[in-house]
């Protein structure tokens, strides 16, 4: 089964590019940019990646982002992630970036987006990995900061497909961002939001009703609300679930408690993703294996996660067809 999973074609829809910053690259960039970091070795960084909740993770996540200064840094970060995608047979990826994390440090929005986009373009040309870019608003910041960020994004509409909402869910309701999401949708952006990870199922409902999201990031708490669960199934609203992240951040004590397989079998359009893989101990293949180790799954069910992700992706129906064909061909041959 591990061999089957390793070569299974995959699609990732929930990946924070800043969260793919491996300790080795963090050290390399800190040295290159003469940035002081509070660690003396790769091992010390890895030891610090022992979180007890979302906030304790975010604290070190933002600290790590300080080493990203120049366009080349964002290129190197993204390229390193794409090489992981290639090794994991990821055909298509839709990645988040957090411009406010960088603009607050005096890094130009253009610097960030150009570095990431240059790597994604090269990834398409050299690795045959297609991609889309999603700009997230940080929900612990205010609405005004989100509007400034949206205005900065308008010059890059050719590179950014959607807006999202991430950072600490507790104490930062989606209502705060209803107007900026409406404006973004008016400008032609698609929309997604983190909801129902640490927060209750009502946050998922609010994201759907107030932010008009096309898909829900995480969303595992939906099972608390049977009517909401029925709505997700009936309307085929995708959930981008991140299994290793959920156990690392103690949303679930362990993978056997995770509800992702239950959601799949209920008919929810649920997908497997890696979230912040450098911090949570695994990229796409690792997440698939972790789920399969904890829950007996058929090969068809494992492939269904990819099929769901293809349907949930922000590419055209025409672009989806070869990805679906490749996945179904692989299942048939194995």
Active site residues: 197
CA distance 220 to 323: 26
The span from the CA of 205 to the CA of 280, in Å, is: 27
Determine which helix (DSSP H) or strand (DSSP E) holds 290, and give its type and residue range: helix 284-294
- Beta-bridge partner residues of 191: 163
Q: How are the residues of the chain apportioned to helix, strand and coil, as percentages rounded to the nearest 5?
A: 60, 15, 25
- Joined together, the tokens standing for residue 232 give 């997700």
Going by the DSSP 8-state scheme, the letter that residue 275 receives in this structure is: B
Of 139, 219, 140, 123, the closest CA to residue 181 belongs to 139
Alpha carbons 7 and 4: distance in angstroms, whole number: 6
Q: What whole-number distance in Å separates Cα of residue 83 and Cα of residue 283?
A: 11
Q: CA 222, CA 234: separation in Å to the nearest integer?
A: 14
Kindly give the pairing relationship between strand 160-166 and strand 90-97.
Answer: unpaired
- Between CA 194 and CA 258 the distance in angstroms is 18
For 110-255, strand residue ranges (E) read 130-138, 160-166, 190-195, 215-218, 239-241
The rounded Cα 97 to chain-centroid distance in angstroms is 9
């Amino acid at each position: 089964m591990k061999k089957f999973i390793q070569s299974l074609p995959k699609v990732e829809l929930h990946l924070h590019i800043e969260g793919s910053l491996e300790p080795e690259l963090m050290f390399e960039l800190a040295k290159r940019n003469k940035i002081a970091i509070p660690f003396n070795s790769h091992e010390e960084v890895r030891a610090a990646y022992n979180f007890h909740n979302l906030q304790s993770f975010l604290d070190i996540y933002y600290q790590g982002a300080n080493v990203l200064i120049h366009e080349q840094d964002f290129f190197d970060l993204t390229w390193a992630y794409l090489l992981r995608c290639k090794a994991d047979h990821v055909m298509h990826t839709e990645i988040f970036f957090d411009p406010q994390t960088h603009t607050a440090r005096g890094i130009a929005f253009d610097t960030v987006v150009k570095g990431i986009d240059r790597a994604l373009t090269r990834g398409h040309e050299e690795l045959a990995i297609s991609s889309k870019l999603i700009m997230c608003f940080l929900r612990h910041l205010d609405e005004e900061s989100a509007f400034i960020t949206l205005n900065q994004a308008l010059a890059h509409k050719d590179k950014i497909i959607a807006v999202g909402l991430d950072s600490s869910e507790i104490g930062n309701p989606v209502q705060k961002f209803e107007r900026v999401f409406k404006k973004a949708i008016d400008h032609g952006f698609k929309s997604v939001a983190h909801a129902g990870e640490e927060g209750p199922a009502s946050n998922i409902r609010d994201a759907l009703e107030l932010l008009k999201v096309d898909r829900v990031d995480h969303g595992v708490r939906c099972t608390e609300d049977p009517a909401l669960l029925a709505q997700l199934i009936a309307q085929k609203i995708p959930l981008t679930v991140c299994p290793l992240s959920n156990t690392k951040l103690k949303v679930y004590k362990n993978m056997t408690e995770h509800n992702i397989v239950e959601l799949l079998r209920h008919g929810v359009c649920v997908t497997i993703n890696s979230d912040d893989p450098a911090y949570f101990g695994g990229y796409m293949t690792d997440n698939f294996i972790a789920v399969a180790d904890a829950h007996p799954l058929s090969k068809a069910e494992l492939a269904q996660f990819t099929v769901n992700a293809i349907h949930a992706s922000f590419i055209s129906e025409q672009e989806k067809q070869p990805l679906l064909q490749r996945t179904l061909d692989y299942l048939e041959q194995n």
